[in-house]
Amino acid sequence: MTATPIPRTIALTVYGDLDLSTLTELPEGRKPITTWLVPPEKRGAAYNWIRNFIKKEVIQAFIVCPLIEESHVETMKQVKAATAEYKKLQEVFKDLNIGLLHGKQSAKEKNGTLDAFKRGELHILVSTPVVEVGIDVPNATIMIIEAAERFGLAQLHQLRGRIGRGEKKSYCLLFTESKSQKVLNRLKALKENKSGFELSELDLKLRGPGEMYGTKQHGFPELKIASWSEAGLIKMTREVAQDVVTNPQTYPKLIQKIESQNIAPN
């Protein structure tokens, strides 16, 4: 069960290898999450809003960064890292208690930080995507995702799901410095869509299904003619394949071909 299947998992349901059941209602008492796309020039205003909102509503916030430590790779130098942001935000939010969580910490460190956050001793938790599963803090109603363009839609929706777990209104802020219209359109899709399944279908269309029998979880197969995104053709093909399995006697030439390949039909 998942709220946000990755592209390859969605592909397996589309192409007929998995059956699909859906739960479309929010748990009782939960409210839809408001999502905002925040450009660089509004970062300062966003920080002020977060500080005031935390104090006024007595709530908590996640700030998620893609990296643990800053990268020396030229194309990654501007990507936010949790350890560096933790130090920076201690200066920005001097009047708030801030914690740090990432995968290189010991189990004792991670558990201690999470427990402090759950008890309400920390106002803000700066973290890597390690928080995307298994974290339930109903009082955390703000989620900032740094360099949001670095994440797939399914993962962004999964991260967003860490808030909105109580009765209070929740807000997800997507920070990005990207000017790419393709990237901005993808992030706007998250802003406008609350359905994890629909976002996962869009993620499949944008990032590709990956390898059906390999390890790649996204990417586009190199097909000369067919397209993995031709939903209508795939649906028709699946229906025909199911009919072949159910009524093989109506396809004598196909059965003859299969038998000539030494593959016995069931």
Domain boundaries, the chain: 25-194, 231-260
pLDDT of residue 3: 54
Q: How far apart are CA 166 and CA 184, in angstroms?
A: 29
pLDDT under 70: residue ranges of the chain: 1-29, 197, 207-231, 262-266
Q: What is the CATH number of domain 25-194?
A: 3.40.50.300
pLDDT of residue 55: 96
Residue position matching structure tokens 């009782």: 28
The reported pTM is: 0.73
pLDDT of residue 128: 97
pLDDT of residue 20: 55
pLDDT of residue 255: 81
pLDDT of residue 245: 84
